[in-house]
Amino acid sequence: MSFDTGADASRRTRRRFLALVGGTTALTFAGGARAESGDGVTTTDVTIDSFDGTEIAATLYEPQGGSQPAMLLTHGYGLNRTLSPLVQGRAAMYARNGYVTLTYDSRGFGESGGQVNINGPKEVKDAQTLITWLGGRENVLTDGPDDPRIGMDGTSYGGGIQLNAAAAEARGDGVPESDDRLDALVPRWAWHDLTYSLAPNGVIKRNWALLLTLAGAGGSHLVGDDALDFIRGQSPKLYEILIEGLLENELSTGAKAYLDARSPSQDVADITTPALFIHGWPDTLFTPNEAIWNANGLGDTDHRLVLTDGGHSLEAISLTTLEHEEFADEKALAWIDTHLRGEGQSDLPPVTFYEMQSSQWRTADGLPPSNAAPRTLSLTDATEEATTWVANSVVPSSTSQLFPVNGDSPVASADFDFPITEPTELMGSPTLRLAVDPAGPETRLFAKLYRVTSDGTERLIDNQVTPLLVEGDGVTTATVEMVAFQRRFDPGETLRLTVTTTDAAFQPSRTSVGATIYHSDRHPSTLDVPVVGNADTGN
C-alpha cells in the first residue's frame, strides 16, 4: 500500500479541484513533451527554477527559423496558462509570426509553486528570471548577455505584471541582470492603482473584492487533501485585507500600503518601455481611467491607447466580442513588430476607440481630445430647490422618516437633468463637485450618468458608478473624477446625473441616515463635462 505525499499529492489534488470548478483541459507538468502544429510551431512544456528556487511551469512555443525575438505571456487572476484561451491563442499568434513565445503559470497558480501575492516583488522577479532564461536560448535574438529582444502581452493580472516588471527593469531592481531589458509592452485591462481599483474614493467594491478572492482561492494551488486547504494558495494578507475591509468598512493603512506596493501608480514614470494599452470602456473593475492614468504617466515614452467594448464585468467576468479581440490582436502584433523587429512604424494614432452608438472605430489625439473643453453644468439649473435630501435606504424606514424631502417622503436617489439643445459629443472624464451635509459621521453617495433619449428611455453610460465618501460636520464640498466615457447626444435628449445613497456593488455607509445635497449660490454643486468641438448643452 502506498500514499500520495508531497508535491505529487498536491498537484493531483489541484487537478481534482480545477476539474470541479470548470477546468476542461488536463494540466501538464514540466517533462519536456513536445508537439508540432500544422504551422510548424513546436510547443514544449518546461519547468524553470525562479530566483528563489520556486518552480515555474511554462510552455515554450518555437517557430521554425534562426534567432527570433521573444514574447512572454501570463494569464488572468485565478486562471493559468492552460485554462486561459486568451493566453494560448495569443501565444500561437506570436509564434506563427516568428516569435519564440513563453507562456507561464504565475506564482501560486496552475502548476507553478509558491504563493499568490498579487504581482508583488516575487512575481516581478519571476518575470525577470524568465526574461533571463529566454536570453540564454540559442534561437532567441539578444541585445546583450541575458538580454533578449523581448516583449510582453497579457490581460488583467497578465497586464499588471508587465508594468511592475518594466518599472523594476528600468530601475535595475530585482534580479542582478536587470537592465531595462523589456522592449515592448501590451498591457490589456491593467490596473494603475489597486487601492483605487478596489476602493475608489475610499468606498470598497464589495462584489469585486469577494469575487476576486474566491477566484484566486479556486485557481491557486492546493497544498493538501483537506478541502479547506485550497485557501492557502493565496497569501494570508489577501484574506486579511478582505475580512478587515468588510468588517471595518474601509481599507486599513496597512492594506493600502500592500496594494500600493503592487501598483504601477507608484513608479509608472520610471518605465521606458514603449507600451500599447488596450482597455474597455465598460470595465467596472479597472475603469478606463486607470488606462488613461497609466498612459499619461509614461510621459514621453512611446505609448498608445485602444479602447474597446470589453473589460471586466461582474455579469460576465470578462466581456468582449471576437471582433474586438481580433482587432486588438492585430494592433498588438503591429506594435510588437514595430518595436522588436523595427518593421516600420505602428500606424496607431494616440487614441483609437470604439464608439458604441455607431459601432465604428474612431481615433483621437488624446483623451480628452485637444478640441474638447470642460463645460460647467450647475445643479442649480436642474432643480428649483436649494437642497435635495437623499435617505440611506439601508437604515430603518422609521429613522428615514425623520428627514423628509421638502415635505415629501424620503428618497434614496435624486436626478438632475440637463437637456441637450444641439448635437453634442462628450469624451473624457467628468468632474463632479457636490456640496454635501452628511447626516452622520460619514455618508457615501454614488454618482451615475445616463443618456436619456427623446422617448424617455434611460441608459446608464457604460454601466459605470462613481462613489463619493463624505466625512465631517456641516457642508463639505466633495470633488471627484468620474469614469471616462464617450457619447453623442442629439437635440431633445438629456444628460442625467443620478445621485444615490447605495449601490449593490459597493459597501454602503453604516453610520449615516442620508445626506443633504446643496445646490445654491452659497453652496454650489457642479458637473464639468468634456464637450468636443463647439457643441452647447443649452445650459
Pairing of strands 142-144, 147-148: antiparallel
Among 4, 532, 428, 498, CA closest to 223: 4
Range of lowest pLDDT (8-17, 100-109, 181-190, 320-329)? 8-17
Are residue 349 and residue 418 in the same domain, yes or no? no
CATH number for 27: 3.40.50.1820
> Where residue 539 falls among pLDDT bands split at 50, 70, 90?
very low
Q: Answer yes or no: is 538 within a domain.
A: no
Confidence check: pLDDT of 510 > 50: yes
Same domain, 37 and 97: yes
Do residue 359 and residue 417 come from a single domain? no
Q: Is the pLDDT of residue 536 over 70?
A: no
pLDDT in tens, 111-154: 999 999 999 999 999 999 999 999 999 999 999 999 999 999 99
Burial class (CB within 10 angstroms; exposed 0-12, middle 13-18, buried 19+) of 2: exposed
Q: What angle do CA 414, 419, 421 make, to 5 degrees?
A: 175
State the DSSP H helix or E strand holding residue 460, giving kind and residue range, or none if neither. strand 458-460
pLDDT exceeds 50 at position 7: no
Whether the pLDDT of residue 173 is over 60: the answer is yes
Q: For 308-347, how does the pLDDT look when each residue is reduced to its tens digit (9 = 90+)?
A: 998 999 876 666 778 899 999 999 999 999 999 987 666 7
Give pLDDT tens digits for 266-288. Answer: 899 999 999 999 999 999 999 99
Which residues span the domain enclosing 472? 372-532
pTM of the model: 0.89
Cα(241)–Cα(199) distance, rounded to whole angstroms? 12
* CATH number for the domain that contains residue 511: 2.60.120.260
What is the four-CA torsion angle of 228, 7, 157, 345, rounded to 10 degrees? -170
| Mean pLDDT across 514-525 | 95
Of 234-248, 340-354, 444-458, minimum mean pLDDT range: 340-354
Secondary structure class of 248 (helix, strand, coil)? helix
State the average pLDDT for the chain.
88
Same domain, 339 and 395: no
The tens digit of pLDDT for each residue in 37-71 reads 668 899 999 999 999 999 999 999 999 999 999 99
> Identity (one letter) of the amino acid at 232?
R
Q: Could you list the beta-strand ranges (E) of 189-302.
A: 275-280
The amino acid occupying position 282 is P
Residues 398 and 424 in one domain: yes
Is residue 76's pLDDT more than 70?
yes
The CA distances from residue 139 to 62, 74, 112, 130, 526, in Å, are 8, 21, 25, 15, 60
Q: By C-alpha distance, which of 432, 440, 409 is closest to 515? A: 440
Which pLDDT tens digit goes with each residue over 474-508?
999 999 999 999 999 999 999 999 999 999 999 99
385 or 273, higher pLDDT: 273
Predicted pLDDT at 15: 39
Q: 384 falls in which pLDDT band (50, 70, 90)?
A: confident
Task: Please answer whether residues 78 and 219 qualify as being in contact, where contact means their C-beta atoms are separated by less than 8 angstroms.
Answer: yes
Domain boundary among 340, 364, 388: 364
Do residue 99 and residue 211 come from a single domain? Answer: yes
On the question of pLDDT at 258 being above 50, the answer is yes
* H-assigned helices in 64-154: 85-96, 121-135
- Give me the mean pLDDT over the 210-223 stretch: 84
Does any domain span residue 539? Answer: no
Q: Check if the beta carbon of residue 377 is closer than 8 Å to that of residue 539.
A: yes
Q: Are residues 310 and 292 in the same domain?
A: yes
If asked whether residues 295 and 344 sit together in one domain, one would say yes
Are both 350 and 381 inside the same structural domain? no
Q: How many domains does the chain have?
A: 2
Q: Could you tell me if 175 and 239 lie in one domain? A: yes
pLDDT surpassing 50 at residue 226? yes
The answer to whether residue 388 scores a pLDDT higher than 50 is yes
Cell of 208: 469585486
Together in a domain, 409 and 339: no
> Does 537 or 80 have the greater pLDDT score?
80
